[in-house]
């Protein structure tokens, strides 16, 4: 039971075989990571300071990018470590309880859901695929640079915009083909909103931001399909990330595996 | 060309990809402490920080 000054951060739920050793990991807020066992399952938790992770503090801290990054990476690192030992159901960031007792009650209440999720995820990994519209080539200027400067500029600018629009439309259509093909190789798929150019770190617009739950034995086939799609669709650049813990396939109804 | 970024134990994971997953993915349970935070849109609250931090950069780049 955590003391009053502390609360309990929840990382993941596993079967109780996948539990990491007690002192093996440092978690969110530099807290020791430990298992809480009930109903044949283990909740992987860590103690965190209430003054940093209590409700009011969390609301404030979640808007601090440095804090958010440290916390997200620490949360992810623990889930990854658990996931290397066996299937794990990851929790959304900032799932915090007052005490161990609250976690144990939740674990018992939802045990059938967790067991179902663990068996569904056991042989799968999540892969991320993002597609960007490839940069449009330089616009053609049929009159050459000899025309009047103002007119030439306007014509060139219009051609540039048209070419960008066409490139983006072509890439968007390509993204649908990519998503359909990759969905066909996956147990389940989930679309995220495209990341804004500033956030993605890419100037080119993102036209696909998707996650796929893929059977482990089909991982090679999946990667090869991404390569093949990259070669066939010059209007896009594709990026593959992973394998990820199955964050995208344990949440709401749009991610429950019944989607396809 | 396909860019492969291993996610395991790797600091090269883009923060924005990680936030997509840890904020919009994962099992959503209203923890006792975070009961009311779960009701607001966690993604919106948190991504505000990210958006603010890159907006200057985006303004410079984005002439679309």
User: Could you read off the pLDDT of A45-88 as tens digits, one per residue?
Assistant: 999 999 999 888 888 888 888 898 899 999 999 999 888 888 99
ipTM, two decimals, is 0.78
pTM to 2 decimal places:
0.80
Q: Among residues 1-40 of chain B, which lie with CB inside 8 Å of chain A?
A: 1-9, 11, 13-29, 31-37
Q: Among residues 221-260 of chain A, which lie with CB inside 8 Å of chain B?
A: 223, 226-227, 230, 237-245, 247-252, 255
Domain ranges of chain A: 6-121, 124-255
Who's near A168: CB < 8 A, 6+ residues apart? A133, A205, A207
Q: What CATH number does the domain located at A124-255 have?
A: 3.30.70
User: Could you read off the pLDDT of A26-48 as tens digits, one per residue?
Assistant: 899 888 899 999 999 999 999 99
User: Could you read off the pLDDT of B21-49 as tens digits, one per residue?
Assistant: 888 787 877 667 765 565 555 656 656 65
In angstroms, how far apart are the furthest CA atoms of chain A? 80
Task: Average the pLDDT over A123-145 and give the result.
Answer: 74
Who's near B20: CB < 8 A, 6+ residues apart? A192, A195, A209
DSSP letter assigned to residue A95: -
Chain centroid, CA B24 distance in Å: 8
The predicted structure's pLDDT at residue B62: 46
Asked if A52 has any chain B CB less than 8 Å from its own CB, the reply is no
Q: Which residue in chain B has the smallest CA separation from A48? A: B33
Q: How close A236 gets to chain B, by Cα (Å)?
A: 10
């Amino acid at each position: 039971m955590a003391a009053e000054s502390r609360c309990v951060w929840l990382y993941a739920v596993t079967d109780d075989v996948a539990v990491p050793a007690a002192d093996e990991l440092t978690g969110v807020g530099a807290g020791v990571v430990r298992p809480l066992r009930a109903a044949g399952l283990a909740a992987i938790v860590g103690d965190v300071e209430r003054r940093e992770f209590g409700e009011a503090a969390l609301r404030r801290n979640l808007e601090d990018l440095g804090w958010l990054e440290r916390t997200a990476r620490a949360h992810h690192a623990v889930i990854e470590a658990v996931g290397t030992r066996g299937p794990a159901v990851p929790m959304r960031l900032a799932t915090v309880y007052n005490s161990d007792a609250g976690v144990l009650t939740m674990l018992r209440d939802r045990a059938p859901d967790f067991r179902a999720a663990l068996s569904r995820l056991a042989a799968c990994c999540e892969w991320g695929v993002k597609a960007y519209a490839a940069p449009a080539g330089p616009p053609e200027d049929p009159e050459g640079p000899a025309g009047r400067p103002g007119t030439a500029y306007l014509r060139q600018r219009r051609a540039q915009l048209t070419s960008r629009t066409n490139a983006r439309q072509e890439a968007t259509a390509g993204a649908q083909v990519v998503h359909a093909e990759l969905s066909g190789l996956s147990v389940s798929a989930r679309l995220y909103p495209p990341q804004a150019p500033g956030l993605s770190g890419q100037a080119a617009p993102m036209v696909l931001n998707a996650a796929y739950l893929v059977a482990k034995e089909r991982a090679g086939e999946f990667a090869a399909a991404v390569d093949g799609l990259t070669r066939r669709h010059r209007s896009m650049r594709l990026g593959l990330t992973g394998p990820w813990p199955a964050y995208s396939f344990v949440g709401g109804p749009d991610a429950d595996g019944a989607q396809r | 060309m396909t860019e492969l970024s291993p996610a395991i134990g790797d600091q090269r994971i883009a923060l924005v990809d990680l936030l997509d997953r840890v904020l919009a993915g994962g099992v959503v349970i209203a923890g006792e402490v975070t009961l009311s935070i779960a009701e607001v849109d966690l993604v919106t609250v948190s991504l505000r920080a990210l958006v603010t931090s890159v907006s200057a950069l985006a303004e410079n780049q984005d002439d679309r």
